[in-house]
Amino acid sequence: MRNSDLISAARIPAHISPLTPVPAFLTCNLQLQEVLHPAFISFLCTNEALMSARVFVAMVVVACSVPLTAVGQTPAGAPPAPTMTSSPLPTGRVTYRTYVEVMNELERIAKANPERVRRFELPHQSLLGQTIYGLEITHNVNASSGKPVFVMTGLHHAREWPTVELTMEFIYDLLKNDGVDPHFTALLDSVRFIAVPVVNADGYEMSRSMLVEQKRRNCRMEAGKVPTFADCANPANMRNGVDLNRNYGAFWGGSGASVSPAGDSHRGAAPFSEPEIQNMRELLASNQVVVALSNHTPDAKVLRVPSANEEPVPADVVPYDSLAQLLGGDLKWTAGPWPKIYYTASGTMEEQAYYSAGTFAFTFENAPGQRSFHPPYSFVIDQYFGTGAYPGSSSRAGYIRLLEAAANPKLHSVLEVKAPAGATLTIHKSFTMETSPLLVTDVASDSTRGAAIKFTQELNSSLAVPKGADHVTWHVNPSLRPSQHGTEFIREAWRLTCSLNGQSQTVEVVVARGETKQVDVSRCR
Ligand SMILES: [Zn+2]
């Protein structure tokens, strides 16, 4: 569809010419504020090229004509949503959040809980220039500490709105129960929880505002080119974009990802080509992420690697699958590797997290059975608690299980480091990873493959030795790395460096999962 067609498709009221100057539309600014991020509104209202563009006019008309009450209503074929005024969720919510609401809440939560919550910006803005935020939650959050990390994400896929809600409500749940329920209190003593509720900020804005409700991917319209808001908001372009859960580097370009930009699971032009996935790569590489979860909807599965046919049986299959099966029990869903219980997918979050750092990484396919990626809100509530439509299938129980797994030293490695007070410790690894041998076409019968791409992956994290201390405990990922080619580990070491007052000392430490190693770098002063 061309832009001129969009104009006629946009239900422009008869009294408004498509070429009416923008200021005439500013009366809809208030309504825009309900559905769009302020940065977008200011972008729309200040961009001269857009101001004069017919497509902008059409887009504003679309945005202003969306009845806000339509958002989150029962999709065709789904049972009617009960009328609710409050819910048992930690916030009592009964409707899906807008992107603006999520961003405002992250800021408010961090301000209200300075000892326990730190809001952070991810390093790369979205393609449309939005800053993406996450929260770190733990006791004494601003102190450097060697706690194991659990990373949880929502919304790789734009239309999967329940994943935002489940992540946000779990944040509130943790904070509400901390200091009240001894189990939650102990978990926040021992684990650093990192949440990124909206990985795909642009996609969520498009879907949640109903401009492109069934959007799955990000806003990339053409490889290597920065898209415009208008291009992404044009429903005719719904089938463009990169599938962010096919854009991670490990095994990128293999089975279960589309070569074609028009394919529903398009892998992108290169591994990590999208800024949203560069964010995730860097987050995973700069923390000791021992457990990770990517929330999706709506297929009732707990998934772990292998996700693509090109992968081996993972070297950690026994403990990794045991945890998957426990999660499957919490959710009453089938649990296991993608190709066996679901479909194949390459370039997924699990592959990158597991093969780079040995992170036990999973996907939850939440809120099943409603023939919708965002069913009526009552299904979010039922999914969170395992009540109503989903008896005994609780995402909350799965999240708590993952926090417990992160806290369990048998599932990661521990360094007991002797070092002088005030020193900075870093651990570092640099190694080569590979994509899949590249699919060349989307034709299922075509077995032609291009060579795999090799890329360098670095892992880097740091820890300060507190004043008055001569020792720190550092919960880390194993230094042994799971092979991408066989059911075995590659024998690598962490390079641990202690620096203080211009002096430094470096040692190499080989440590396996479940092992504790003593390290002495007390000579770095
Ligand atoms: Zn998804």
- 298 and 357: one domain? yes
**Distance from residue 373's CA to the centre of ligand 1 (Å):** 9
Omega before 375 within 30 of 0, i.e. cis: no
**Is-contact 484 433, C-beta < 8 A?**
yes
**Is-contact 192 136, C-beta < 8 A?**
yes
For residue 83, being part of any structural domain is answered with no
| pTM, entire model | 0.87
- 215 and 259: one domain? yes
- 214 and 328: one domain? yes
- What per-residue confidence (pLDDT) applies to 375? 98
Using the 3D structure, point to which of 367, 387, 411 is the last residue of a domain.
411
**Distance from residue 141's CA to the centre of ligand 1 (Å):** 30
- 136 and 221: one domain? yes
For residue 81, being part of any structural domain is answered with no
CA distance 278 to 275: 5
CA-based nearest residue to 379, from 74, 132, 109: 74
**Distance from residue 366's CA to the centre of ligand 1 (Å):** 9
**Distance from residue 159's CA to the centre of ligand 1 (Å):** 8
Using the 3D structure, point to which of 411, 442, 476 is the last residue of a domain.
411
For residue 79, being part of any structural domain is answered with no
149: tokens are 């990390």
129 burial class (0-12, 13-18, 19+ CB within 10 angstroms)? Answer: middle
Those residues with Cβ within 8 angstroms of residue 145's Cβ, 6 or more apart along the chain or in another chain? 138, 192, 463
Instruction: Tell me 266's DSSP state.
Output: B
**Distance from residue 224's CA to the centre of ligand 1 (Å):** 24
For residue 368, being part of any structural domain is answered with yes
Please list all protein residues whose beta carbon sits less than 5 angstroms from ligand 1, which is an ion.
Answer: 157, 160, 296
CA-based nearest residue to 272, from 455, 134, 477: 455
Range of the domain at 485: 414-524
**Is-contact 94 85, C-beta < 8 A?**
yes
CA-based nearest residue to 138, from 117, 168, 119, 113: 117
- 385 and 307: one domain? yes
- 308 and 184: one domain? yes
**Distance from residue 29's CA to the centre of ligand 1 (Å):** 32
Cα dihedral value 288, 291, 292, 298, nearest 10: 180
How large is the angle between the packed helices 99-112 and 162-177, nearest 10 degrees?
A: 10
In sequence order, the β-bridge partners of residue 185 are none
For residue 45, being part of any structural domain is answered with yes
- 326 and 384: one domain? yes
**Distance from residue 63's CA to the centre of ligand 1 (Å):** 25
- 303 and 438: one domain? no
Alpha helices, H only, 20-90: 29-35, 38-46, 48-51, 54-65
- 327 and 441: one domain? no
Residue 471: what are its φ and ψ, rounded to 5°? -165, 145
**Distance from residue 34's CA to the centre of ligand 1 (Å):** 25
**Distance from residue 6's CA to the centre of ligand 1 (Å):** 28
- What per-residue confidence (pLDDT) applies to 390? 98
pLDDT in tens, the chain (525 residues): 222 322 233 332 333 232 323 222 332 333 444 445 444 444 443 443 443 343 343 344 344 333 333 344 444 455 555 578 899 999 999 999 999 999 999 999 999 999 999 999 999 999 999 999 999 999 999 999 999 999 999 999 999 999 999 999 999 999 999 999 999 999 999 999 999 999 999 999 999 999 999 999 999 999 999 999 999 999 999 889 999 999 999 999 999 999 999 999 999 999 999 999 999 999 999 999 999 999 999 999 999 999 999 999 999 999 999 999 999 999 999 999 999 999 999 999 999 999 999 999 999 999 999 999 999 999 999 999 999 999 999 999 999 999 999 999 999 999 999 999 999 999 999 999 999 999 999 998 888 999 999 999 999 999 999 999 999 999 999 999 999 999 999 999 999 999 999 999 999 999 999 999 999 999 997
**Is-contact 476 511, C-beta < 8 A?**
yes
- 53 and 145: one domain? no
- 178 and 273: one domain? yes
CA-based nearest residue to 96, from 371, 330, 372: 372
**Distance from residue 369's CA to the centre of ligand 1 (Å):** 15
For residue 104, being part of any structural domain is answered with yes
**Distance from residue 343's CA to the centre of ligand 1 (Å):** 12
For residue 335, being part of any structural domain is answered with yes
Q: What is the 3-state secondary structure (H, E, C) of 314-377?
A: CCCHHHHHHHHHHHHHHHCCEEEEHHHHCCCCCCCHHHHHHHHHCCEEEEEECCCCCCCCCCCH
Those residues with Cβ within 8 angstroms of residue 185's Cβ, 6 or more apart along the chain or in another chain? 177, 178, 179
Domain count, the chain: 3
- What per-residue confidence (pLDDT) applies to 20? 29
CA distance 89 to 179: 19
- 385 and 425: one domain? no
- What per-residue confidence (pLDDT) applies to 81? 53
- Bridge-based pairing of strands 516-520 and 481-482 is unpaired
For residue 459, being part of any structural domain is answered with yes
CA distance 377 to 270: 37
Using the 3D structure, point to which of 411, 428, 447 is the last residue of a domain.
411
Read off the CATH number of the domain in which 184 is found. Answer: 3.40.630.10
